[in-house]
Amino acid sequence: MAVLNILKLGHPTLVKKAEPIEKIDDAVRRLAADMIETMHAAPGLGLSAPQVSVSRRLITVDLSVGEKEGEVIVLVNPEILEQEGKVIRDEGCLSVPEVFEKVARPQKVKVKGLDLNGRECTIEATDLMARVLCHEVDHINGKLFIEWLSPLKRNLIKKKFKRQAEKRKT
Protein backbone atom coordinates (compact mmCIF):
# COMPACT_ATOMS: atom_id res chain seq x y z
CA MET A 1 0.00 0.00 0.00
CA ALA A 2 1.09 3.55 -0.61
CA VAL A 3 0.17 7.05 0.42
CA LEU A 4 -0.76 8.92 -2.76
CA ASN A 5 -0.46 12.59 -3.60
CA ILE A 6 -3.74 14.49 -3.14
CA LEU A 7 -4.55 17.01 -5.88
CA LYS A 8 -5.38 20.54 -4.78
CA LEU A 9 -8.01 23.03 -5.94
CA GLY A 10 -7.07 24.33 -9.38
CA HIS A 11 -6.16 20.92 -10.82
CA PRO A 12 -8.35 20.07 -13.85
CA THR A 13 -8.93 16.42 -12.79
CA LEU A 14 -10.89 17.67 -9.77
CA VAL A 15 -13.54 19.33 -11.94
CA LYS A 16 -13.94 16.51 -14.46
CA LYS A 17 -16.80 14.02 -14.31
CA ALA A 18 -15.18 10.66 -13.47
CA GLU A 19 -15.78 7.54 -15.58
CA PRO A 20 -17.65 4.49 -14.25
CA ILE A 21 -15.59 1.43 -13.29
CA GLU A 22 -16.56 -1.40 -15.65
CA LYS A 23 -14.61 -4.21 -14.02
CA ILE A 24 -13.46 -4.59 -10.44
CA ASP A 25 -10.01 -6.10 -10.87
CA ASP A 26 -6.77 -6.12 -8.88
CA ALA A 27 -5.89 -2.62 -10.09
CA VAL A 28 -9.16 -1.26 -8.66
CA ARG A 29 -8.62 -3.15 -5.38
CA ARG A 30 -5.05 -1.80 -5.14
CA LEU A 31 -6.29 1.73 -5.81
CA ALA A 32 -8.92 1.35 -3.06
CA ALA A 33 -6.26 0.09 -0.60
CA ASP A 34 -3.99 3.03 -1.47
CA MET A 35 -6.89 5.46 -1.12
CA ILE A 36 -7.70 4.12 2.36
CA GLU A 37 -4.06 4.49 3.37
CA THR A 38 -3.96 8.02 1.92
CA MET A 39 -7.25 8.99 3.64
CA HIS A 40 -6.00 7.72 7.01
CA ALA A 41 -2.61 9.42 6.62
CA ALA A 42 -4.08 12.79 5.58
CA PRO A 43 -6.11 12.44 7.90
CA GLY A 44 -9.57 12.70 6.40
CA LEU A 45 -13.05 11.20 6.70
CA GLY A 46 -13.39 10.46 3.01
CA LEU A 47 -11.58 10.39 -0.32
CA SER A 48 -12.46 10.02 -3.99
CA ALA A 49 -10.33 8.58 -6.80
CA PRO A 50 -10.17 11.88 -8.77
CA GLN A 51 -8.40 13.45 -5.76
CA VAL A 52 -5.53 10.99 -6.29
CA SER A 53 -5.41 11.65 -10.06
CA VAL A 54 -7.63 8.74 -11.13
CA SER A 55 -10.77 9.93 -12.90
CA ARG A 56 -12.89 6.92 -11.90
CA ARG A 57 -16.03 6.53 -9.80
CA LEU A 58 -14.58 5.14 -6.57
CA ILE A 59 -14.89 6.55 -3.04
CA THR A 60 -13.70 5.61 0.45
CA VAL A 61 -15.17 6.75 3.76
CA ASP A 62 -14.10 6.13 7.36
CA LEU A 63 -15.67 8.30 10.03
CA SER A 64 -13.28 6.80 12.62
CA VAL A 65 -10.24 7.82 10.47
CA GLY A 66 -8.63 4.43 11.04
CA GLU A 67 -9.30 4.33 14.78
CA LYS A 68 -11.87 1.55 14.58
CA GLU A 69 -11.58 -1.61 12.57
CA GLY A 70 -14.32 -2.44 10.11
CA GLU A 71 -15.45 1.17 9.72
CA VAL A 72 -14.10 1.67 6.19
CA ILE A 73 -16.64 1.91 3.39
CA VAL A 74 -15.50 1.47 -0.20
CA LEU A 75 -18.06 2.15 -2.92
CA VAL A 76 -17.62 1.60 -6.64
CA ASN A 77 -19.89 3.64 -8.94
CA PRO A 78 -21.88 5.13 -6.03
CA GLU A 79 -25.19 6.82 -6.70
CA ILE A 80 -27.46 8.78 -4.39
CA LEU A 81 -30.94 7.26 -4.70
CA GLU A 82 -32.84 9.27 -2.13
CA GLN A 83 -32.23 12.22 0.10
CA GLU A 84 -34.22 14.11 2.68
CA GLY A 85 -33.90 16.88 5.22
CA LYS A 86 -31.22 19.53 5.47
CA VAL A 87 -28.35 20.13 7.89
CA ILE A 88 -26.02 23.12 7.70
CA ARG A 89 -22.57 22.42 9.11
CA ASP A 90 -18.92 23.33 8.58
CA GLU A 91 -17.30 21.26 5.88
CA GLY A 92 -13.76 20.90 4.57
CA CYS A 93 -11.91 18.94 1.90
CA LEU A 94 -8.42 17.44 1.61
CA SER A 95 -8.14 19.10 -1.81
CA VAL A 96 -8.97 22.51 -0.34
CA PRO A 97 -6.82 22.46 2.82
CA GLU A 98 -7.46 24.85 5.68
CA VAL A 99 -10.81 26.01 4.32
CA PHE A 100 -13.91 25.24 6.38
CA GLU A 101 -17.27 26.70 5.37
CA LYS A 102 -20.91 26.05 6.15
CA VAL A 103 -22.59 23.79 3.60
CA ALA A 104 -26.16 22.50 3.54
CA ARG A 105 -26.43 18.74 3.02
CA PRO A 106 -29.30 16.26 3.30
CA GLN A 107 -29.87 14.88 6.82
CA LYS A 108 -30.51 11.44 5.38
CA VAL A 109 -29.45 9.69 2.18
CA LYS A 110 -29.76 6.32 0.54
CA VAL A 111 -26.70 5.45 -1.55
CA LYS A 112 -26.24 2.53 -3.88
CA GLY A 113 -22.96 1.14 -5.20
CA LEU A 114 -20.81 -1.95 -5.54
CA ASP A 115 -18.35 -3.30 -3.00
CA LEU A 116 -14.90 -4.58 -4.02
CA ASN A 117 -16.39 -8.03 -4.68
CA GLY A 118 -18.81 -6.55 -7.19
CA ARG A 119 -21.80 -7.08 -4.93
CA GLU A 120 -24.45 -4.39 -4.97
CA CYS A 121 -24.93 -2.66 -1.64
CA THR A 122 -27.27 0.02 -0.40
CA ILE A 123 -26.31 2.27 2.49
CA GLU A 124 -28.77 4.36 4.47
CA ALA A 125 -26.89 7.12 6.26
CA THR A 126 -27.69 10.13 8.39
CA ASP A 127 -25.92 13.32 9.56
CA LEU A 128 -22.11 13.18 9.23
CA MET A 129 -22.09 9.94 7.23
CA ALA A 130 -24.72 11.39 4.86
CA ARG A 131 -22.61 14.55 4.52
CA VAL A 132 -19.39 12.69 3.72
CA LEU A 133 -21.12 10.41 1.20
CA CYS A 134 -22.66 13.43 -0.57
CA HIS A 135 -19.28 15.22 -0.54
CA GLU A 136 -17.47 12.23 -2.10
CA VAL A 137 -20.19 11.58 -4.70
CA ASP A 138 -19.92 15.28 -5.63
CA HIS A 139 -16.17 14.72 -6.19
CA ILE A 140 -16.72 11.99 -8.78
CA ASN A 141 -19.13 14.34 -10.54
CA GLY A 142 -16.37 16.95 -10.73
CA LYS A 143 -17.87 19.13 -8.02
CA LEU A 144 -15.91 20.53 -5.08
CA PHE A 145 -17.71 21.64 -1.92
CA ILE A 146 -16.83 25.28 -2.61
CA GLU A 147 -19.33 25.14 -5.49
CA TRP A 148 -22.03 25.23 -2.80
CA LEU A 149 -20.74 28.55 -1.41
CA SER A 150 -21.64 32.03 -2.59
CA PRO A 151 -19.81 33.12 -5.78
CA LEU A 152 -18.00 35.78 -3.75
CA LYS A 153 -16.62 33.31 -1.19
CA ARG A 154 -15.84 30.73 -3.86
CA ASN A 155 -13.84 33.20 -5.96
CA LEU A 156 -11.85 34.39 -2.95
CA ILE A 157 -10.87 30.79 -2.15
CA LYS A 158 -10.01 30.05 -5.80
CA LYS A 159 -7.84 33.17 -5.98
CA LYS A 160 -6.01 32.23 -2.79
CA PHE A 161 -5.19 28.76 -4.15
CA LYS A 162 -4.11 30.19 -7.52
CA ARG A 163 -1.68 32.52 -5.74
CA GLN A 164 -0.31 29.63 -3.67
CA ALA A 165 0.16 27.50 -6.81
CA GLU A 166 2.02 30.32 -8.53
CA LYS A 167 4.23 30.78 -5.49
CA ARG A 168 5.14 27.09 -5.56
CA LYS A 169 6.19 27.41 -9.21
CA THR A 170 8.55 30.37 -8.68
- Residue 77 CB, nearest distance to Ni ion (Å)? 18
Q: Which of 19, 71, 124, 136 is catalytic?
A: 136
* Stretch of residues binding Ni ion (CB under 5 A), selected from 12-20, 26-34, 89-97, 126-134: 89-97
CA distances from 81 to 22, 113, 141, 154 (A): 20, 10, 15, 28
Does 39 interact with Ni ion (rule: CB under 5 A)? Answer: no
- Residue 44 CB, nearest distance to Ni ion (Å)? 8
* Stretch of residues binding Ni ion (CB under 5 A), selected from 6-14, 75-83, 88-96, 117-125: 88-96
Does 93 interact with Ni ion (rule: CB under 5 A)? Answer: yes
Collect all residues with Cβ–Cβ distance below 8 Å to 49 and sequence separation of at least 6.
18, 31, 35, 55, 56, 57, 58, 59, 140
* β-bridge mates for residue 74, sequence order: 60
What do you get for the CA distance between the two ends of the chain, in Å? 33
Q: Which residue is nearest to Ni ion (CB)?
A: 93
Known active-site residue 136: yes
- Integer-rounded Cα Rg, in Å, for the chain is 16
Nearest partner of 51 among 23, 102, 25, 15, judged by Cα: 15
Does 52 interact with Ni ion (rule: CB under 5 A)? Answer: no
d(CA 96, CA 92): 7
Size of the site for Ni ion (CB under 5 A): 1
* Stretch of residues binding Ni ion (CB under 5 A), selected from 14-22, 64-72, 79-87, 92-100: 92-100
Does 133 interact with Ni ion (rule: CB under 5 A)? Answer: no
Active site residues: 136
